[in-house]
Amino acid sequence: MATAFAEREAEERGVKDEVEIITGGTRPADEVHGVVAEVMTEEGFDLTERTPREVTAEELAEAEYIVTMGCDATDVCPATFAGESRDWALDDPGEATHDEAREICDEVRRRVTALFDEVTKDV
């Protein structure tokens, strides 16, 4: 969810060439959960062809911002990581009902927009 919204924000704000968005999980699912795909379709995204992947320590080492969704990334975060880490402490939408997933989606959208407001104000 966050990646799709972040990609759209970068495009709409004209910063897609300045902002690299890397997505991955510490324990990724085998596929995008059906309820997540349904809710994101309502937002105009087709996630059916996306495949969750594991984030690497190397990717984290180079990131300026790491956003987690309610999980701890310390087992993959390298000791040399110098960026800013934020945990949004959100429930897993893959385990949610449609209405719960919708609420999580709305919150993810709000937080992604706020993060872009913050980090692109000087770009």
Question: What does the pLDDT average to over 100-122?
Answer: 94
What value, to the nearest 5°, has the Cα angle with vertex 51 and ends 49 and 52? Answer: 150
Q: Tell me the CATH architecture of domain 2-119.
A: 3-Layer(aba) Sandwich (3.40)
Residue 47: predicted pLDDT: 95
Question: What does the pLDDT average to over 12-18?
Answer: 94
Question: For 23-54, what is each residue's pLDDT tens digit?
Answer: 888 778 889 999 999 999 999 999 989 999 98
Residue 64 burial by CB count (10 A; 0-12/13-18/19+): exposed, middle or buried? exposed
Residue 77: predicted pLDDT: 54
pTM of the model: 0.88
User: How does DSSP classify residue 52?
Assistant: -
